[in-house]
Structure 1
């Protein structure tokens, strides 16, 4: 009987050492193209939660800020509904220019800029997990600082990142200068002693 109790105790203890299923291989930050934080460039694709400013030269009534709604669209006077999600700011500006030129304005000049990027999410073993506003040039170190730092249980040498662009989580080596992008979900796992 004692032998059986010892064996069951050993099995229970060893099962606590097992991983949490589906361990992913550790990738370098370069696997996601995230070695260093850089400003978001002209190829940035707009998404739900971004706010953009559109200026129509000589038309103050058409110059305003738009939030991309949950459908991925914006409503622009005279131009109608514009599917902005997945487009660059330059492409959206060109589409609006073309629609305004189609019977409303002669040779319209439309410029666009991104006012506010969609938020990123940081979860797991940080003191204040949640949604945070993205700031240009955001690094992993900055994201952790916004989230109140690590908990004492945090596994700090790797992180799981799920880009908003799709796909599952990727386990990457955590470096302080690693880039965070708008819409990312970052998760720090619990370390095992």
Structure 2
């Protein structure tokens, strides 16, 4: 069942990325399985834990970690859980029980409700807002949960992360934050850097795509999404191509350079830059 769910997520993300660009492939979420992620999950306040001691049904407890990061358990009293992984907490409770009335206790912990690790997704996604993560989570999984990219989404994602980093900046509260930038084009090369995995407290912003404008003798003049490598000819095609009276070979490109408008007579194979205006004039004949 879990395998099918993971497969469905992968297919969904392929589809979402296909909307963004036909050349971006599916990613692989490292080598961690669902069960491995659950075992490595770092527990925090408000998480709900299902704790069982093998062969001792009366020791079964469902507990919520307090805001102070702890809970109570029989024969152990106060357990400081926050900051420990599921595996570490199992070992801790087993050790405490073995110091009392139990011989070689086998403790199993399952996180029944994940509440402590949260991220915020903003910008060009269908459902911006706060989302709960379950440990090591790929950034595209979170974007999938947020409904995927909108049609106006660009290829750049910015992550604001509290902590120390070479790219750290001081925020308005005086805390040190790291500003990380993710270029979706890098996924084409199978880049698996850790920055593609979100962390508790991250704010993720999906930028709006750059735009270009095609006017004049074209069938659908207007504003269009800019993509890296887009040519003048391709831009005119986005606008439905030239009309019967249009002369695409004499197109004029207007571009802002150093605060001033510059008019260029480009080749149809020339690349287009963000915010360029392409005007297709009438044919002489």
SS of residue paired to 2:142: helix
Question: What CA RMSD, in Å, does the superposition of the two structures yield over aligned residues?
Answer: 3.4
Aligned equivalents of 1:149, 1:163: Cα separation in 2: 21
Give unmatched runs, 5+ long, in structure 2: 1-26, 165-176, 212-285
Query: How far is 1:171 from its partner?
Result: 1.3
Contact 1:55/1:64, CA 8 A, preserved across alignment: yes
The aligned residue for residue 132 of structure 1 is 131
Considering fraction of residues, name the structure with more strand.
2
Asked whether the 8 Å contact 1:37–1:137 carries over to 2, the reply is no
* Deviation of 1:47 (Å): 2.7
Instruction: Give aligned pairs, total.
Output: 158
1:54 to 45, 48, 51: 51
- The gaps in structure 1 that reach 5 residues or longer are 1-34
Name the SS for the 2:149 alignment partner. Answer: coil
User: CA offsets per residue over residues 107-139 of structure 1, 9 Å max, x none?
Assistant: 322122344444433122323211224368854
Greater shift in the superposed pair: 183-192 or 95-104: 183-192
- Partners of 2:155 and 2:46 lie apart in 1 by 31
Rounded Cα–Cα distance in structure 2 between residues aligned with 1:165 and 1:115: 29
- What is the DSSP-based 3-state SS (H/G/I as helix, E as strand, rest coil) of the residue aligned with 2:66? coil
How far off is 1:56 after superposition?
0.6
1:169 aligns with 2:179: yes
Q: Report if the CA contact (8 A) 1:49-1:119 is conserved.
A: no
Deviation of the 1:92 alpha carbon: 0.9
Does 1:186 find its partner at 2:186? no
Tell me what 2:29 maps to. Answer: 37
Give the match for residue 157 of structure 1: 155
TM-score, scaled to structure 1: 0.62
Tell me which structure has the larger Cα radius of gyration: 2
**TM-score, normalised with respect to structure 2:** 0.45
Matched, 1:105 2:97: no
Of stretches 97-106 and 122-131 in structure 1, the one that deviates more from structure 2 is 97-106
Q: Distance in 1 between matches of 2:160 and 2:91?
A: 31
SS in 1 for 2:71: strand
Q: Retained in 2: the 8 A contact 1:46–1:87?
A: yes
